Amino acid sequence: MVPRGALRAPPVAAVEVHVNTAIIRQLNVSRVFHALREHPGSSQRELVRFTGLDRATVSTVVAQLEGEDLVERIPKPSRGRAGRPEKALRLSETGGWFVGVRLDPRELHIVATTVDARPLAIRQELGSSDVTVAVRRVGAIVCELAASHDVTLDHILGVGVGVAGLMDRDGRLALGPNLGWHDVPILDLLRAELPVPVYADNDTKAAALAETLFGSCRDVLDFVLVIGHAGIGSALYQGGMLQRGWRGYAGELGHVKVVPGGRACGCGGRGCLEAYASENAILARMAEGGRSCADLREAARLAEQGDAVAREVLEDAGAKLGTVLATVLNLTNPHRIVLGGGLAQVADTLLPALKRVIARDALGLASEGVAVKVSSLGEEAVAMGGVALAMEGFLSLPSWLSGGHFRLRRNGAASRSKEAAEVRPEGS
Ligand SMILES: [Zn+2]
């Protein structure tokens, strides 16, 4: 496996030439943090090896992380070496929470994790077609989760939200085809609701970040992630970098036309992939065939039992997804294709058809050696994407540039959280 630090940042020597020392300091914090997350129980000497940084830098960053209660020292088992026993370091279990949210028209998934992204609590609630209600509900659930674990809001290091829709680079939801929302300042609304650092991105782009940090793409630089829930989105990484496009709207795989003039889509167009292979479309097509299913799990169960309608709908969804992915393969030559979200639940039936079409339609050289996998983050890929957004946002805070400011900010959040609790309307 390629070490995470090697994937996420250019070599230190190269960085020193082009950027100022403050940014290098921030990158160093990120490197040491991720090395500790991936190798808990490391000694400082091992961190030097994992990060490629020098001893003095590792020591400074560890001291800074310890000062923020994010790292703790534990006895390291002796290997019979002479001299002073080494101390093992790990991210502190009580250092804080990251919270990840999937904001979807049908449901809200919220996961609270430790600093090293181990899930502590997961909540699933109904979504809302009213943006104000949905955002308030997210705020209320985060507060309830914290309260039920005897945790104050200042313990939350960041909340990341994956939104099902086209997000621009400033955190505005330009269009939510399945939400019925247009031009909503979703990040501002979320920040007004939650007195903690909040980050937001398109749901699939958030999930792709989670794949690079904790999921199926930690060891590859070039991959395509396809997430299917109410709609279908994709995220493309090339050379370890997410491709956002000019205004940030790249990756709308769900609106590639697969049947000219075909089924109506939430975007206003016809014949989009999403109208055949999204969760909503699969359930609608099942119902048209006389099979009423509550969710994709039920559709998958019917297909496993040999139900002809379920098999036909899922195999057709897989074939149409395969047609679009064959083009993506020809255009971008990824190393891996990963399916997540609801698509992971129906992968057993969908994948064989998808792979057959890719083998038939993609250029041999572009698809040779490309693995098509189901995300190891499964159904919670987007909520874990929120956790990844929060983690990366936290590690990018300007406070890291001059130690000590971060703690002041956390104390500020604690006092603001009281005001927010006082003004929060009942039942919201
Ligand atoms: Zn569409």
The per-residue pLDDT for range 204-245, each reduced to its tens digit, is 999 999 999 999 999 999 999 999 988 899 999 999 999 999
Is 178:168 a contact under the CB 8 Å cutoff?
no
Interval 358-371: pLDDT, tens:
999 999 998 889 99
State the distance from the centre of ligand 1 to the C-alpha of 182, rounded, in angstroms.
Answer: 15
Any idea which of 56-65, 339-348, 395-404 has the lowest mean pLDDT?
A: 395-404
State the distance from the centre of ligand 1 to the C-alpha of 411, rounded, in angstroms.
Answer: 45
State the distance from the centre of ligand 1 to the C-alpha of 253, rounded, in angstroms.
Answer: 9
State the distance from the centre of ligand 1 to the C-alpha of 292, rounded, in angstroms.
Answer: 24
pLDDT value of residue 428:
34
State the distance from the centre of ligand 1 to the C-alpha of 60, rounded, in angstroms.
Answer: 51
385 CB burial (10 A radius; 0-12, 13-18, 19+): buried
- Token digits for 403? 């130690």
The rounded distance, in Å, linking the Cα atoms of 114 and 91 is 9
Any idea which of 19-33, 93-107, 204-218, 349-363 has the lowest mean pLDDT?
A: 19-33
pLDDT value of residue 367:
87
Q: If you average pLDDT over residues 383-399, what whole number do you get?
A: 92
State the distance from the centre of ligand 1 to the C-alpha of 254, rounded, in angstroms.
Answer: 6
State the distance from the centre of ligand 1 to the C-alpha of 247, rounded, in angstroms.
Answer: 19
Comparing 255 with 407, which gets the higher pLDDT? Answer: 255
Residue 402 confidence class, pLDDT cut points 50, 70, 90: low
Q: If you average pLDDT over residues 66-78, what whole number do you get?
A: 85
Sorted by sequence, the CB contacts under 8 Å of residue 283 that are 6+ apart come out as: 293, 295, 296, 299
State the distance from the centre of ligand 1 to the C-alpha of 228, rounded, in angstroms.
Answer: 13
Which residues hold their Cβ within 5 A of ligand 1, which is an ion?
A: 255, 265, 267, 269, 272
The rounded distance, in Å, linking the Cα atoms of 268 and 6 is 43
State the distance from the centre of ligand 1 to the C-alpha of 267, rounded, in angstroms.
Answer: 4
State the distance from the centre of ligand 1 to the C-alpha of 275, rounded, in angstroms.
Answer: 7
pTM above 0.75, yes or no: yes
State the distance from the centre of ligand 1 to the C-alpha of 201, rounded, in angstroms.
Answer: 20
CA-wise closest residue to 380 among 172, 214, 248: 214
Q: If you average pLDDT over residues 409-417, what whole number do you get?
A: 44
State the distance from the centre of ligand 1 to the C-alpha of 265, rounded, in angstroms.
Answer: 5
- In the chain the first and final C-alpha atoms are separated, in Å, by 46
State the distance from the centre of ligand 1 to the C-alpha of 160, rounded, in angstroms.
Answer: 26
State the distance from the centre of ligand 1 to the C-alpha of 27, rounded, in angstroms.
Answer: 39
What is the percentage of the chain residues whose pLDDT exceeds 90? Answer: 70
